[in-house]
Homo-oligomer: A and B are copies of this chain.
Amino acid sequence: MATGTLNIGVIGAGRIGKVHAESIATRVAGARLGGVADINLAAAQSLASQFSAPRVSGDYRDLLADKSIDAVAICSATDTHSRIICEAAAAGKHIFCEKPIDFDLGRITQALEAVDKAGVKLQLGFNRRFDAGFAKARELVASGKVGAVHVVRITSRDPASPPLEYVRVSGGMFLDMTIHDFDMVRFLSGSEAEEIYTMGAILVDPEIGRAGDVDTCVVTMRLANGALATIDNSRKAVYGYDQRVEVFGSAGMVAVSNRTPDTHVHFAANGVHSATPLYFFLERYADAYVAEMQEFVRCVQAGATPPVTGRDGLVPVIMGLAATRSLKEGRPVRLDEIR
């Protein structure tokens, strides 16, 4: 291993753990896959073997105890994130953590304090910021090409509902799905939400309603810089993963549309036909997952603050809680009500 290579242990060998393990092992410059841990030891072993990770365990503490491991990527179940952050920070590991840190603001705060105290780097997994299109939109906004921001519009629709057992523990649509869009509003606008109003509906699957959640929503918010934002979500778009953003301002607008698997256009007598959007997040954000991990590695190696901070992990949860309360109480909710 070359001097300076960051040795990263992946905690959690599920879907997203596999993505990060592969990135670290084969795509990210300056990184090495140091180990894989999962309470399902067989899953950990399979993933470790695929990418020749030297260490594998059924207990993530083994990775934290391993002096050769510099950093961990926390890809385990959400309810373990805040605890593992605290322990990893205490062990002096730099931390990449999937969103959300927790649904409980107290536990999030505790985790962020542990990180601060340990002086390790923490980056949250808001992968969409690293999508080439969204990053370009942010760049244009930041450089003044759209002027003062007036309206942010986001559409985010999944191609299929998650399993009901997932819905039940997901924290609800706003904390599970809209949370990414809340992050996008902050990222794109460079401002913070002050007030949120939510309309929700159960249109995709009545079982989601029986599980206490909604499957369709429109969220509106007012930002500190005066701009307005609107997000619409659906758990099911039959044409695939629909991920679009738009920032409108005094000097113009930037809009980012979906990516497709190919650019063919078929002209026939009955119409003009082209490809549906890339199916889901693994396809749409494949490059973004690599880019965010690359940036994490770069920041740790450079001693720089990662671009998605602990606070970036906290605020969208507050927004999600405000949106949830707005839905329940049928009124706009100010973020400072959420404490």
Contacts and interface: CB of A to CB of B under 8 A. Distances in A.
B271 A254 contact: no
Contact of A256 (B26, B145, B204, B262): B262
A332 interface: yes
A264 B137 contact: yes
B251 A255 contact: no
Contact of A220 (B135, B137, B146, B197): B197
Contacts of A217: 228
A266 interface: yes
Interface string A23-59: 0011100000000000000000000000000000000
A50 to B, nearest CB: 10
Question: Looking at A140, A226, A250, A268, which has the most chain B CB atoms within 10 Å of its CB?
Answer: A268
B248 A157 contact: yes
Interface of A: 25-27, 131-133, 135-137, 140, 145-148, 150-151, 153, 155, 157, 195, 197, 199, 201, 203-204, 216-218, 220-222, 226-230, 232, 234, 236-239, 242, 248, 250-259, 261-269, 271-276, 330-332
23 contacts: A131-B262, A132-B262, A133-B262, A136-B262, A136-B264, A151-B216, A151-B232, A151-B234, A153-B232, A197-B332, A199-B222, A199-B332, A217-B228, A220-B230, A236-B250, A238-B250, A239-B252, A239-B269, A254-B264, A259-B263, A271-B276, A274-B274, A331-B331
